[in-house]
């Protein structure tokens, strides 16, 4: 009886189609690739969907601060419309132009046409930093200013000489309200000597002056 039972068991085993090692390996490989190709198959990591999703998430996480800042930058400062006297005063000195929000707005509009608006934005950011007293806020704003306008990786990098950059790098070890004072002065001087004369001869300034003059005559 034992012999016949063994024979019957052997027949049943032979009747069942065995799974070959190659088929088992293929099934294992397919199963793994379907669940997480990057973990098991180096050859498909360049194009597999899970890596693409991961890269997209990392790209979103690495959005630079200047992109985030740009979303919140207003087109202009809030200010009343300039008077004819104010606009005439802008021609007297660059300091008088920069003294009022209306003057800065008009000059900033001109800088935008020359693709150098970052100079004004940097100067304004430095002015804002000077008003802060909270240490943690100062450190955060200083970091953002550095990333937005000093870093060579930023599309809004301002033009500074190597000496000023060295000063900034030292100051960033312990940021304060005056971390960028030297850089701010250099950019202010650059705008004064380079952009201001062209602004005074620009259509933006002349049209504004003419419009206010005509209104003054009508009044």
**Residue 211 is encoded by which pair of tokens?**
């419009």
Instruction: Output the six-digit token pair for 172.
Output: 């960033």
Measured distance CA(25)–CA(141) in Å, rounded: 57
Domain topology for 84-218: Regulator of G-protein Signalling 4; domain 2 (1.10.167)
pLDDT digits (tens, 9 = 90+) for 95-112: 999 999 999 999 999 999
Q: Which two structure tokens, joined as six digits, stand for 208?
A: 């504004």
Calpha distance 97→198 (Å, rounded): 13
Whole-angstrom Cα distance, residue 95 to residue 167? Answer: 25
**Residue recorded with tokens 């001087």:** 189
> In this structure, how many other beta carbons lie within 10 angstroms of the beta carbon of residue 26?
11
Confidence band for 202, pLDDT divided at 50, 70 and 90? very high
Query: How confident is the model over 13-62, as pLDDT tens digits?
Result: 555 544 444 444 444 444 444 444 443 333 434 444 444 434 444 444 44
Residue found by looking up tokens 């004369």 in the block = 197
Alpha carbon distance 152, 119 (integer Å): 15
């Amino acid at each position: 009886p034992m012999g016949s039972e063994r024979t019957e068991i052997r027949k049943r085993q032979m009747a069942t189609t065995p799974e070959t090692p190659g088929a088992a390996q293929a099934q294992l490989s397919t199963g793994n690739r379907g669940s997480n190709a990057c973990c098991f198959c180096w050859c498909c990591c360049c194009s597999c969907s899970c890596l693409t999703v991961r890269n997209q998430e990392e790209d979103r996480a690495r959005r630079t601060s200047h992109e985030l800042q740009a979303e919140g930058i207003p087109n202009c400062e809030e200010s009343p419309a300039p008077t004819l006297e104010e606009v005439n005063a802008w021609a007297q000195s660059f300091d008088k132009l920069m003294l009022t929000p209306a003057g800065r707005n008009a000059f900033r509009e001109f800088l935008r046409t020359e693709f150098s608006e970052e100079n004004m934005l940097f100067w304004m950011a430095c002015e804002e930093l000077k008003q802060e007293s909270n240490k943690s806020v100062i450190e955060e704003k200083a970091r953002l200013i550095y990333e937005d306008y000093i870093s060579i990786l930023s599309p809004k990098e301002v033009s500074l000489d190597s000496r000023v950059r060295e000063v900034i790098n030292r100051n960033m070890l312990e940021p304060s309200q005056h971390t960028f004072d030297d850089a701010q002065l250099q950019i202010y001087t650059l705008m004064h000597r380079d952009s201001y004369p062209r602004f005074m001869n620009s259509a933006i300034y002349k049209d504004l002056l003419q419009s206010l003059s005509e209104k003054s005559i009508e009044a």
